[in-house]
Amino acid sequence: MAAGNDTGTSTAVTVIGLGVMGSALATALLRGGHPTTVWNRTTSKADALIASGAKPASSVGEAVSASPVVIVCLLDDDIALTHLDGASTAIAGRTLVNLTTSTPAQARRIAAWAAAHDIDYLDGGIMATPEMIGGPDASVLYSGSPSALDAARPALERFGNVDYVGGDPGLASLYDLALLSGMYGMVGGWFQALALVGSAGISAIEFVERLGPFMTAMASELPAIARQLDEHDRAPDAAPMATHTSALTNIIATNDQQGVKPQLLAPLRDLFEQATDADAVNLAELVEMLARPAT
Ligand code: FVH
């Protein structure tokens, strides 16, 4: 059963945590006309929001009592759980959306805690920077209780695209971390490439005019690899595995010769070497090798 105030046409929302991201979320809610109550450990971070119409709360318990939907955006899940647990009686009967970055196990832990306290729980992973919140490019992953999603949806739509990925509360976090894995892998490639051309005195700005389009062209290979994975397709790639291993060996040797640490690509070379030794025929097989338990 819903608890707290739900005045007018917009759901009242409480935001716990007013770091750069929590402040952006609260700002988007205020802009969307949601009565918004805020709490932060360092109270001065609420000042600008209060000037824009937010209601300050002097404790987490007071904050959550003000709204049927409670959004948490703190540094990490341990901190979130500590503060929520101290106000569990006040949160009972409400919808809780936790946008603190977590691991799937942490998300499931908070979901189990919420279930034990009669709290409808949705976990989230924000795929946006604070500046993007409320804009057309912001997207937030959600997983967990469908009824929590329904209750919170009008407020969540103020942040950006609502991307619900399933009932398992750990799923949003898994998708979040998998997407970030892709991003950090790509960023690692950028770093290695820029360090290598930089060691030869080549301008980074000049080089990225080549790197950007090349990365975009290579990304077009991704759906084919995904299809091979899903279908366990063993059709051989045009390039034999040994070709990739040789390319990576040359890349690492050249980085060494140029005085650039090859550390970001060395593990990838090792994986390709193992794939070559195992007579792997396509790149999808490397993904399967990564996911296979170590023997
Ligand atoms: N900023 C971003 O671009 C990313 C985008 C993807 C999602 N993340 C996650 O969002 C969570 C909050 O991140 P943030 O950027 O708002 O971080 P900060 O500005 O550092 O604010 C941290 C808030 O946590 C509060 N806090 C820290 N320790 C405690 C504590 N022991 N007790 C109570 N509150 C605590 C802090 O309070 P204060 O220092 O202002 O008093 C801020 O409210 C995070 O999970 C990102 O991974 C953002």
- Per-residue CA distances from 96 to 68, 85, 253 (Å): 9, 12, 52
pLDDT for res 2? 40
pTM attached to this predicted model: 0.92
Tens of pLDDT, residues 13-29: 999 999 999 999 999 99
More confident of the two residues 257 and 5? 257
Confidence of residue 192 (pLDDT cuts 50, 70, 90): very high
Q: How far is CA 110 from CA 9, 130, 216, in A?
A: 30, 24, 39
In this prediction, residue 9 carries a pLDDT of 74
Give the pLDDT confidence of 112-148 residue by residue, as tens digits: 999 999 999 999 999 999 999 999 999 999 999 999 9
- Tell me the per-residue pLDDT of 215-225, one tens digit each, with 9 for 90 and over: 999 999 999 99
* Ligand 1 atom nearest to 22, measured from its CA: 16
Beta strands (DSSP E) in 34-166 are 36-39, 55-56, 69-72, 95-98, 120-127, 139-144, 161-164
**Is the pLDDT confidence value at 93 over 90?**
yes
User: Quick one: tokens of 64?
Assistant: 């959550």
- Write out pLDDT tens, residues 211-267: 999 999 999 999 999 999 999 999 999 999 999 999 999 999 999 999 999 999 999
The amino acid at residue 293 is P
In the β-sheet with 55-56, what is the strand arrangement from edge to edge?
55-56, 36-39, 13-16, 69-72, 95-98, 120-127, 139-144, 161-164
Is pLDDT of 3 > 80? no
Reported confidence tier of residue 41, pLDDT bands at 50, 70, 90: very high
pLDDT band at 295 (very low <50, low <70, confident <90, very high): low
Distance from C-alpha of 157 to C-alpha of 29, rounded to nearest angstrom: 9
Token couple for 269: 């070379």
Q: Which atom of ligand 1 is nearest to the CA of 77?
A: 45
Residues 161, 108, 166, 232, Cα dihedral to 10°: 110
Q: Which atom of ligand 1 is nearest to the CA of 21?
A: 16
Distance 187 CA to ligand 1 centre (A): 23
Q: How many A from CA of 74 to the centre of ligand 1?
A: 4
Give residue 100 CA to ligand 1 midpoint distance, Å.
Answer: 8
pLDDT of residue 293: 79
With a Cβ cut-off of 6 Å, ligand 1 is lined by: 17-22, 40-42, 45, 73-76, 79, 100-101, 126, 129-130
Looking at the predicted structure, is the pLDDT value of residue 8 above 70?
Answer: no
Residue 220 pLDDT: 95
Instruction: Compute, in angstroms, the gap from residue 53 CA to the centroid of ligand 1.
Output: 22
Question: How many Å lie between the centroid of ligand 1 and the Cα of residue 276?
Answer: 44
Q: How confident is the model at residue 4 (pLDDT cuts 50, 70, 90)?
A: very low
Tell me the per-residue pLDDT of 57-67, one tens digit each, with 9 for 90 and over.
999 999 999 99
